A and B are shown apart, each in its own frame.
Chain A
Amino acid sequence: MNTQFKMVVAVLAALLIAVTGVGCSGSGSGESTGDVAEPYRIGAVVSLTGTYAGLGTPEKNAIEMEMKRLNDAGGVNGRQVEVIFEDDATDPAKAQAAVARLIEQEDVIAIIGATGTGQTMALRDDIDRAAIPQVSMAGGSVITAEFDELVFQTPWPNRTVVPFTLRQLKERGLTNVAVISDTGGYGKDGHDIIVAQAAAAGVKIIADETFNPGDTDMMAQLTKIKSASPDVVLMWNAGKEAAIVAKNLKQLGMDVPLVGSPGNGRREFIEGAADAAEGFQFAAGKILVPEAYGVDTPAYDVATAFISDYTKAYDVAPDIFAGHAYDAFLVVTDALSRIEGDATPAALRDAIEQTSGLVGIGGTFTYGPQDHNGLTEADLVFYRVEGNEWVLAK
Chain B
Amino acid sequence: MSARYGLDRAIARVAPVLIVALVAAVPLLTDDRYLFKVLTFVGLNVIVVTGLALLFGYAGQISLGHAAFFGIGAYSVGYLTATRALPWLAAVAIGVALASVVGLLLSLPMLRLKGHYLAMATLAFSEILGVFFVEASAITGGNDGLRGIPFPSVGPFKIATPGASYLLVWGVAIIVVVLASNLVRTRPGRALRAVHGTELGAQACGIDTGRLRVQVFTLSAGLAGLAGALYAGVVGFVSPTTFSLEFSVLLVAMVVLGGTGSITGPVVACVALTLLPYIDALVPGLPRDAVAFLQDWEADISGIVMIGVLLFAPGGVAGMLRRSRRAGDAS
Alpha-carbon separation in the docked complex, A297 to B6 (Å): 85
Cβ contact within 8 Å between B34 and A4: no
- B236, chain A: closest CB distance, angstroms: 5
Cβ contact within 8 Å between A22 and B30: yes
Q: How many A-B residue pairs have CB under 8 A?
A: 113
Report which of A4, A26, A93, A122 forms a contact with B11, defined as CB distance below 8 A: A4
Cβ contact within 8 Å between A3 and B328: yes
Which of chain A's residues have a CB closer than 8 A to the CB of B7?
1, 4
Question: With an 8 A cutoff between CB atoms, is B10 at the interface?
Answer: yes
- A378, chain B: closest CB distance, angstroms: 30
Question: With an 8 A cutoff between CB atoms, is B323 at the interface?
Answer: no
> Taking CB as reference atom, which chain B residue is nearest A84?
B288
Number of interface residues of B (CB under 8 A): 44
Which of chain B's residues have a CB closer than 8 A to the CB of A223?
none
Of B139-147, B253-261, B310-318, the one touching chain A? B139-147
Question: With an 8 A cutoff between CB atoms, is A347 at the interface?
Answer: no
Alpha-carbon separation in the docked complex, A102 to B79 (Å): 28
- A45, chain B: closest CB distance, angstroms: 14
Alpha-carbon separation in the docked complex, A125 to B18 (Å): 36
Which of chain A's residues have a CB closer than 8 A to the CB of B29?
19-20, 22-23
Please, what's the 1-or-0 string for A24-35, where 1 marks a CB less than 8 Å from any CB in chain B?
011111000000
Of A183-191, A192-200, A310-318, the one touching chain B? A183-191
- A297, chain B: closest CB distance, angstroms: 38
Which of A5, A22, A118 counts the most chain B CB atoms within 10 A? A22
On chain A, which size bracket covers the interface?
35 or more
Cβ contact within 8 Å between A22 and B11: no
Question: With an 8 A cutoff between CB atoms, is A212 at the interface?
Answer: yes
Question: With an 8 A cutoff between CB atoms, is B294 at the interface?
Answer: no
Which of chain B's residues have a CB closer than 8 A to the CB of A28?
284
Please, what's the 1-or-0 string for B10-42, where 1 marks a CB less than 8 Å from any CB in chain A?
110011001000100110011111110100000
Q: Which of A93-118 contact B (CB under 8 A)?
A: 93-94, 96, 100-101, 104-105, 117-118
Cβ contact within 8 Å between A124 and B11: no
Alpha-carbon separation in the docked complex, A183 to B7 (Å): 57
Of A10-18, A251-259, A358-366, the one touching chain B? A10-18
Question: With an 8 A cutoff between CB atoms, is A92 at the interface?
Answer: yes
Cβ contact within 8 Å between B236 and A26: no
Please, what's the 1-or-0 string for B132-173, where 1 marks a CB less than 8 Å from any CB in chain A?
001001000011110110000000000000100000000000
Question: With an 8 A cutoff between CB atoms, is B113 at the interface?
Answer: no
Cβ contact within 8 Å between B11 and A185: no
Report which of B14, B26, B148, B239 forms a contact with A93, defined as CB distance below 8 A: B239
Chain B residues in the interface with A (C-beta under 8 A):
6-7, 10-11, 14-15, 18, 22, 25-26, 29-35, 37, 134, 137, 142-145, 147-148, 162, 235-239, 241-242, 280-282, 284-285, 288, 324-325, 328, 331
User: What 4 new A-B contacts, CB under 8 Å, besides A4-B328, A16-B25, A19-B25?
Assistant: A19-B29, A22-B35, A91-B239, A212-B134
Between A and B, 6 residue pairs with Cβ closer than 8 Å are: A22-B32, A22-B281, A23-B29, A27-B31, A92-B143, A118-B144
